[in-house]
Amino acid sequence: MAFRQSQRAQQMFLPPSIEEFVGPDDPVRAYDAFVDALDWRSLGIEADPHQAGCPAYPPTIMLKILVYGYSYGIRSSRKLELALHHNLSFIWLAGGLQPDFKTIARFRRQNRKALKQVLRDCARVCLKLGVIAGNTLFVDGSKFRANAGNSQSWTATQCEQHLRQIDQQIEEILHECERVDTQEAQEPSLVHLQEELAQQQGRQQRIATALKQLQEEDLARVNLTDPDCARMHGRQGSHAGYNSQIVVDEQHGLIVQADVVCDPNDRQQFTPQITAAAETTGQTPAVAGADNGYYSGEELEKMAAGATQVLVPARQPAAPSQPFAKGHFMYVAEENVYLCPAGQRLPYRRTCAARHWHEYQMDGGTCCACVHYQDCTRGRNGRKIVRYFNEDLRDRLRQQFELPASREVYRRRKQTAELPFGHIKRNLGAGQFLLRGLLGVRAEMSLLASCFNMARLIGLFGVAGLMAKLAAL
């Protein structure tokens, strides 16, 4: 069998142009058209073509590099620089420009506020394309590792102890500097001591700032590397991280809203995320759903105001299997008592304003004489029932969730809301943020969510179809 022979020294009569590096249906052309369709004024990226000094790289090119790189799991500024030299798609996208990794990292760091708005503009483009309806929204959350370690999470006691040690080290370095200066030692030794002194003073400043944050915000721990992150507990153990939130539209599974918070759980996130998504779509959703991690008795009123129909399952089952569970006790509003399954009355006893409930308790003698005593309760003081201040709203939401139509809508939540996190973490390998601070991780989450939307749009319309629709906007 004959083999094809490679000829690296073969000269070409007409060298190819950069435009010929990618085909007409290459996905990179869709990313190029998408960034061009964004509203640059609303993003807030400042670019002055008449600014004096060395010519800067166009911000459109820099954003295209970031968006396209994140879409294929290339987030490191050094890897992006390497791709701009060796990857034909990146070379075509940048038009032959090759910013170094410092320039890419500086652009991402200086434009974190603008990058956070990329998803908002992406969602509005999807609204214009008619692929986001905004009628049914699902919320979901996932834990992402921070660019920091658990070992750097210190308590106030640890900070005070290290500050005392650093003060002692700084004092020793100053004495050594005086001794070297007095003896007129060689300059390199003194320079080395000055560098060590500056390093210790910088560390002292970081620890002092962390201690101040612990005292002012009444925190148990704070991370010195990334003070905004928190200790998160997940399936992979405990680590320094963030809680990422997304709101997904049910029509095509596109992300409408993305955010990153420091709360270790999701109980306070349902209403803020749905409200932010409604601001983007410009309408109040008819249905909003989330898993039971978002269920909060204190937030029920806000949840009910965030959407016409709220589908968040309660933490306790609506139809308990135990015959003497709370669900089988009937409340009589006219008499303000509970009736147990055996027909006995549980009168009102007291109110706990701190926990937002009323307590009802049966007489101990009546309970002990009942044939169901061991099954219902084993306390000699009688059975207790707690009724929350918003118990009526809780019951209404439970009944609403148990409807067959509601169950069918909620069943689609899992395949719609959990898919983006799987794509971001597994396909893109973005289980950990590269930037630090809330502003930085929110910018990264906005880019990752926009990349998921772009993958969905290409799947819906194809490259050529998407480019035609973006050109018609």
Residue 131 CB partners (closer than 8 Å, separation 6+): 251, 252, 254, 457, 460
pLDDT value, residue 300: 84
Give me the pLDDT at residue 441, please: 94
The residue among 239, 230, 288 whose CA lies nearest residue 264 is 230
Return the exposure string of 428-456: e unless at least 16 CB atoms fall within 10 Å of the residue's CB, then b. bebebbebbbbebbbbbbbbbbbbbbbbb
Residue 35 in this model has a pLDDT that exceeds 70: yes
What DSSP designation does 286 have? S
Which tokens hold the place of 26?
């290459």
Q: What is the DSSP letter of 379?
A: -
- Of the pLDDT bands very low, low, confident and very high (cuts 50, 70, 90), residue 71 is very high
The owner of tokens 């019951």 is 395
- C-alpha span between 195 and 184 (Å, rounded): 18
pLDDT at 85 over 90: yes
pLDDT at 281 over 80: yes
How many secondary structure helices (H) and strands (E) does the chain include?
A: 18, 13
User: What's the CA dihedral at 37, 41, 43, 49 to 10 degrees?
Assistant: 90
- Residue 158 above 60 pLDDT? yes
CB-count burial class (<10 Å; 0-12, 13-18, 19+) for 22: middle
Q: Average pLDDT, stretch 52-77?
A: 89
- Torsion angle of the four alpha carbons 278, 284, 289, 295, in this order, in degrees rounded to the nearest 10: 80
CA separation for the pair 118, 99 (Å, rounded): 21
What's the half-sphere exposure (Cβ side, CA atoms, 13 Å) at 319? 4
243: pLDDT confidence band, cut at 50, 70 and 90? very high
Confidence label for 47 from pLDDT (cuts 50, 70 and 90): low
Mean pLDDT score, 227-244: 84
| Residue 366 to residue 302: CA distance in whole angstroms | 41
In whole angstroms, give the CA distance from residue 119 to residue 128.
14
**Segment 302-326 mean pLDDT:** 77
Question: How do residues 398-418 score in pLDDT, each as one tens digit?
Answer: 888 888 988 999 998 888 998
pLDDT attached to residue 192: 64
How far is residue 90's CA from residue 461's CA, in Å, rounded to a whole number?
23
pLDDT at position 164 is: 65
Q: What is the pLDDT of residue 169?
A: 63
- CATH code for the part of the protein at 136-146+229-314+396-446: 3.30.420
Position 53 pLDDT exceeds 80: no
Residue 268 has, within 13 A of its CA and on its CB side, a CA count of: 7
Which of 184-188, 336-340, 442-446 bottoms out in mean pLDDT, i.e. has the lowest? 184-188
3-class DSSP assignment, residue 35: helix
pLDDT at res. 318? 47
pLDDT in tens, 387-400: 988 888 888 888 88
DSSP notation for 391-416: HHHHHHHHHHHHSHHHHHHHHHHHHH
pLDDT in tens, 377-387: 888 888 998 89
How many other C-beta atoms lie within 10 A of the C-beta of residue 348?
14
The tens digit of pLDDT for each residue in 1-23 reads 678 777 778 787 777 888 889 98
Is pTM, for the whole model, over 0.75? Answer: yes
Residues 6+ apart with CB under 8 A from 56: 47
